[in-house]
Chain A
Amino acid sequence: MSDEGGSTNTIDLLLGGVVEPARPVRQRDITRARSSAYIVHGNFRELAGLCENISESGLIVADTATPATDVENEVYRRVHNYVSSLYSYNEQIRNALDNCLDVSVGKEIFLPTAADKSTPLYVQRGAFLWGLRNDFQHGDYWCLSVTQEQTDSETTRYHLRFNKLDFEPTPSGDADSAGRYLAHAPDSAYEYPLPYFGSFHRNLFTEFEAAFESWCERHRK
């Protein structure tokens, strides 16, 4: 792969440089990516709807009459749906690239090593969300907890918290194997996942989707 042209397109950066496809990008792959993105956006709306401001405090607001268990279950359901749909979207992107490039595009493209600082921020920050998706699928999501913060007669506010020691993104389930999923941000960034989701989606996901569109447009001509 070469990087002549100095492209700043996120897909070029993901591929390690400007790569000319061996075949045109298939319209059905673009359609699949777009439809997956729409599901991710819808699931993000559900996550954001839990909060006063998902990108800042990430505080979850519920009627005080709602049992805490119901709040907790609903938060887990929405987090699960978001990270699962994001994983599916990344798989659609990977398949689209794999179908038009002569080089094989493996899943590891979305899981850089701790030493690899050249990958796009979308991939670096997305690694944690992939890990959460794996934790939901293979583990028991003990790494997440919903804690009550403030209450009055009408509303109760909760935080979603992340505990690194209970994170099990791989079948072996130990902290060392979790390293690649947590290597790309300081531990403090993961402590409250909802603001992390807010920043990721509104800044990185939207930009990545636009970059994929731009990349496809360039290679359809």
Chain B
Amino acid sequence: MALTDIPSIDELADVTGQSKEQLRKDREAVSEMIRRGDDS
């Protein structure tokens, strides 16, 4: 089974009303948490 239906920043901004700039920061934060194992 393939992983599908992952939302883009544009779609999330449209649905949630949050700014794209903030959503990009949020998405980067998730990546950072994963990469660093939250030991920063």
Contacts and interface: CB of A to CB of B under 8 A. Distances in A.
Interface residues on B, range: 20 to 34
A38 B19 contact: no
B15 A32 contact: no
Interface stretch (A123-131, A140-148, A202-210): A202-210
20 contacts: A27-B40, A31-B32, A32-B33, A34-B30, A35-B33, A37-B26, A38-B29, A42-B12, A45-B7, A45-B15, A45-B16, A201-B16, A202-B16, A202-B17, A205-B16, A206-B18, A206-B19, A209-B18, A209-B22, A213-B25
Contact of B33 (A31, A42, A203): A31
Query: Which of A32, A33, A38, A201: most chain B Cβ within 10 A?
Result: A38
B12 A45 contact: yes
Given A206-B17, A206-B18, A209-B18, A34 B12 contact: no
A162 interface: no
B11 interface: yes
Nearest to B17: A202
Interface of B: 7, 11-12, 15-19, 22-23, 25-30, 32-33, 38, 40
Contacts of B38: 28, 32
Given A210-B22, A213-B22, A44 B16 contact: yes
Interface of A: 27-28, 30-35, 37-39, 41-42, 44-45, 48, 201-203, 205-206, 209-210, 213
